[in-house]
Amino acid sequence: MKFIEQNALQYLSVKLPLLGAFLMLAVLVIQWALDFNFVPQQYAPFIVGTVLPALSWLGRKIAQPSLHQSLGFVAVTAGHSNTDPGAVRGSDKEADFVVKVRNAVELYLLRAGLDVKTDGKGGINLPLPDAIKIAKGASTKIEFHLNASDNPKANGIETIALPEDKKLAQAISKAIAGVTGGTLRGKDGWIDQSQSARGKVGFVSNGGLIVELGFLSNAAEFAVLQAKYWLVAQAIADVIIQHEKGA
């Protein structure tokens, strides 16, 4: 036998029948002690057979949100696509790098037991309209990008999101900075979509977060990202896992 629930007592469907059984036992003991037939003994099997399952059923019905893991799934997508490389610097392409980050984040989320959807497996990087479709209905939607600038010194991390996702956006940017040592752009790593130079991004309008991991145009920053992208992915995944599990 394999136990799937290590801590079954936390569920009302287990607690309520136990409480019911305990109360019935208490009644029978008190009756016996007082020699008083409040519940005739012949009714006991009837009570055991109906009341306890009913209590268990009631326990299943009563919502216990704190016990539940993520009800939905996490959508993790890579910016741009196999035909649109995004920012390019020498032989390095934004779209290729963010696919690696996407795959690594997916791995850590799956390991944590979360449901994950991506915009392709392996090297596949489907275009934005597909990413938006795939992300539809996700409890957390996240897409990875690299920034680029004509100024080779421009650097830093930012996560573009709607105001309701400000905290999550900041936590993700900070997690990346914790690994790369990069600076936080915007408001502690969060950029309000309405203040973004890009204008409205479809992915964000649909409730997603766009994570700009750093600048491809900054040789030093991109070198650190390449060297540490597994750790970056793990740090990002940890934030999403906490968020999904309601911590």
Interatomic CA distance for residues 123 and 96, integer angstroms: 8
Name which of 79 and 182 has its Cβ closer to Zn ion: 79
Q: How wide is the angle at C-alpha 86 spanned by C-alphas 84 and 90, nearest 5°?
A: 110
Contact 81, 126 (CB under 8 A): yes
**CB of 85: closest distance to Zn ion in angstroms?**
9
Name which of 117 and 145 has its Cβ closer to Zn ion: 145
Kindly give, in sequence order, each residue whose CB lies less than 8 Å from that of residue 118, ignoring residues fewer than 6 positions away.
Answer: 75, 76, 77, 78, 102, 103, 106, 134
- Residue 145 sits in the site that holds Zn ion (CB under 5 A): yes
- Residue 20 sits in the site that holds Zn ion (CB under 5 A): no
Alpha helices in 136-218 (DSSP H): 166-180, 202-205
Tokens encoding 62: 């009563």
**CB of 94: closest distance to Zn ion in angstroms?**
5
**CB of 115: closest distance to Zn ion in angstroms?**
26
- Residue 214 sits in the site that holds Zn ion (CB under 5 A): no
* Interface stretch with Zn ion, choices 50-58, 141-149, 165-173, 192-200 (CB under 5 A): 141-149
Contact 213, 232 (CB under 8 A): yes
- Residue 59 sits in the site that holds Zn ion (CB under 5 A): no
Contacts with Zn ion, 77-96, as mask; x by CB under 5 A: --x------x----------
Name which of 73 and 97 has its Cβ closer to Zn ion: 97
Q: Please report, as ranges, the residues that interact with Zn ion according to CB under 5 A.
A: 79, 86, 145
